[in-house]
Structure 1
Amino acid sequence: MSALIFSRIILVQRTLLPLLFITGILLPLSAISKELTTLQPFYRSVTLSGFTYPRQEMTVTSEVSGRCEEIVADIGEPIPENGILATIDPTFILLDITANTIAQEQTERQLAQEEKTLSRYTTLLSKKSTPQAQLDEVSLATDLHHITLKKLVNEEKRLKEQLKRHTLKGPQGWLVIERFAEQGEYIQAGKPIARLGDFQRLIVPLALTYSELQALNGKQPISLFFPDLGAEVPATIYRSAPVSDASTRKIHVDLITNAKQSNLQQQLQGGMRAEVQLISGEDTGSFLVPHSALINRYEASWLVAPDGRRIQVILVGHSDDDQFSIVSGSELKAGQQVQLSPDPLQ
């Protein structure tokens, strides 16, 4: 009887020991086989805003004095196809041109007469019928009339060029931003008439840190969002300052976009607020993890390492799309792996 009991005990031991051994192996393996996720650095989202300005501005200034006969375009109106913005009374310059024309005709007739006289005296000198001094005098008079005619022709060019200055022009299609003169007003030479702007293409000035500039350079394509219109339009970098501003320590960058956009019914204009969103490359010391990777209890949060070790972290917030939690901690680093769905605290 005792032999039978002893044999049964040995059988139970032989059966249970392998089961306990297998269980001891399988439990750690189940912990190790937990699905893992990798910590991703959290980069701050930055929204920069600026207001639209014309791509280029210019001030039209009168080079001559006189009464303003006409100003073609008013504030907000475009320069017409002929480019004429204003005209200044050309009466006196036209009179000077007429006087120059008369003087040229007079000189040409005198020159023709002197050339006939020179030809006659040359013939007489060859026959020894006149002294050399007389021929030299006639030759000098002829040369002086040639010089006078050249001066009058040059004066005519100057007067006609000055006449052009009585018509003030600007680039076709540019809009009048400011007007400084009225029709009938006497204009002094050097006085500004109007300030014009090229609103066919618009500039959006921004002030960026170096990391924001790097993010902007890597953002292709660049989109500008107009809150007043609720629409986005494409843009490109127009120019970038080579140095930062001494007071703000930021770099001036201009974005440029077309005023006419296919997705907009109305044309963009100056003074509209535009926004561009960037992901700054600055190290924030925070990381993105799925919500399921966090264990939260009593306003404290933990992540669980692959070996089951708990890592206490600070919950900073959530991503804009609410797909991830933003955490920080002294033990965290980019690329580190943690359990995706750890067991809850007991």
Structure 2
Amino acid sequence: MRSIVLFAGLMLLSPCVCAEQGPLLVQKAKKEITLTGYTRSNTMLSVSSEVSGKVLRVNYDVGQIVGEAPFFEIDPTFIDFQIRSTRQSLKRVGVTQKKLESRVAYLNREFVRIDKLHKGDRATEVKRDAAEDEWKQAQFELDALALEQNILKTTLKELRERKHRHSIFAPKDWTVVAKNAEAGEVIGLNTRLARVADYRTLIVPLSVSGEELAAIQKLPRDFDVTLEGETIQASLNWVNPEFNEKTRKLSIELLLHHTGTARGGLRFSLPLETEAEGFLVPKAAVISRYDNPRVTIKSTGESVNVTVLGESGEYFAIAEDGQLRLRTELKPK
């Protein structure tokens, strides 16, 4: 009787794998990795000069945020002279135009008067034709003057636009990362004067394998990453489809949703779980006797020898075997 009670107690303490666990399935082996990188600005561009001349003023230095004022101001003395000269020419043309309009009006009246006399046989046809020709020639001169006026107006617009380009602007709220000119220097056309970067948005460029990219694409649209020890949100910005045959990787860019320190070189990390070679089988299904591990397929009762490569939690990592398939249900040991 004592032996029967002890046996019953042992039965109650033993875990029932079938009742406490779900199906014991063969799964794809996985490995945990961490992608690391460093932040940089979302966009960077060069600030260049479209005109030549002497730099009068530089309003920003390296590390400063660009505001409303122009970055560089170029001496506009010579362009101002051209603008003033063109304006004077326009005034002169305007005065001449008024004189010609008055003359055309007079010659028109004169032609009308002589034409009436000619119709009454009191003026010769020669005199009438001369009056008409003089009136038409004056009208041609007026038309030519109007054309010259339009050309001068276009020239003035061009000069004003060129003067506007003597004030060289950079995008507002961007950060100056390099400056190549100082006040007093004489610069030439298309000279690269500075570089500015948009640190309002930080990105992280990475080179990843196909498996790593697939793992990232399985994440939510916005996923957690670590930036200098702080957990923030990030998203996949773009994937370059071109494959690098040397590194056997793809280039991608992650966009960080970050409101803290905005600069390059912040350390970034992203833990991922990617697929690996081999299978994972539950430890509860592996029978290991005499260093000969094996599993039993539940549906057929077939026993399959396995090669254990490692372990992870409640699973053994095994080499792939032709007798086992993904999602094969195994019998508890």
TM range (shorter): 0.7 to 0.9
Residue 289 of structure 1 corresponds to which residue in structure 2? 282
SS state of the match for residue 71, structure 2?
Answer: strand
Q: Check if 1:222 corresponds to 2:223.
A: yes
- Percent identity at matched positions? 23
Letter in 2 for 1:316: L
- Structure 1, unpaired ranges of 5+: 1-32, 261-265
Q: Check if 1:44 corresponds to 2:31.
A: yes
Letter in 1 for 2:246: S
Q: Check if 1:209 corresponds to 2:174.
A: no
Letter in 1 for 2:230: A
State how many pairs are aligned.
296
CA positional deviation for 1:333:
3.7
CA positional deviation for 1:214:
2.1
1:273 paired residue among 267, 271, 274? 267
1:304–1:135 CA distance, 2 compared to 1 (3 A): closer
| Partner Cα distance (2:215, 2:301) in 1 | 37
| Partner Cα distance (1:43, 1:116) in 2 | 95
CA positional deviation for 1:301:
5.7
CA positional deviation for 1:95:
1.5
Tell me if structure 1 keeps the 8 A contact 2:74–2:167: yes
CA positional deviation for 1:207:
1.9
Residue 309 of structure 2 corresponds to which residue in structure 1? 316
2:55 paired residue among 39, 64, 68? 68
Q: Give matches, 1:1-346, under 5 Å.
A: 35=18, 37-80=24-67, 82=68, 84-128=70-114, 131-220=131-220, 221-226=222-227, 229-260=228-259, 266-282=260-276, 284-290=277-283, 293-294=285-286, 300=291, 302-305=293-296, 312-319=305-312, 322-328=313-319, 330=321, 332-338=324-330, 340=332, 342=333
Moved over 3 A (4+): 33-36, 292-298, 306-315, 322-325, 327-333, 336-340
| Partner Cα distance (2:66, 2:46) in 1 | 13
User: What are the superposed Cα offsets for residues 50-72 of structure 1, whole Å, 9 maximum, x if unpaired?
Assistant: 22221111111100001111222
SS state of the match for residue 293, structure 2?
Answer: strand
1:119–1:304 CA distance, 2 compared to 1 (3 A): closer
CA positional deviation for 1:259:
3.7
1:247–1:267 CA distance, 2 compared to 1 (3 A): same
TM-score by length of 2: 0.79
| Partner Cα distance (2:292, 2:168) in 1 | 73
CA positional deviation for 1:231:
1.8
| Partner Cα distance (1:258, 1:71) in 2 | 33
| Partner Cα distance (2:311, 2:230) in 1 | 26
SS state of the match for residue 58, structure 1?
Answer: strand
CA positional deviation for 1:294:
4.8
Tell me if structure 1 keeps the 8 A contact 2:29–2:275: no
Tell me if structure 2 keeps the 8 A contact 1:64–1:165: yes
Tell me if structure 2 keeps the 8 A contact 1:209–1:250: yes
Tell me if structure 2 keeps the 8 A contact 1:68–1:187: yes
1:329–1:113 CA distance, 2 compared to 1 (3 A): closer
| Partner Cα distance (1:135, 1:308) in 2 | 118
Residue 3 of structure 2 corresponds to which residue in structure 1? none
TM-score by length of 1: 0.77
Tell me if structure 2 keeps the 8 A contact 1:96–1:159: yes
Letter in 1 for 2:270: V
Tell me if structure 1 keeps the 8 A contact 2:232–2:258: no
Tell me if structure 2 keeps the 8 A contact 1:34–1:339: no
| Partner Cα distance (1:246, 1:119) in 2 | 82
SS state of the match for residue 84, structure 1?
Answer: coil
Residue 25 of structure 1 corresponds to which residue in structure 2? none
The CA RMSD over aligned residues, in Å, is 2.6
Letter in 2 for 1:273: R
| Partner Cα distance (2:328, 2:133) in 1 | 111
CA positional deviation for 1:101:
1.1
Which of 57-66 and 203-212 deviates more? 203-212
Which of 35-44 and 115-124 deviates more? 35-44
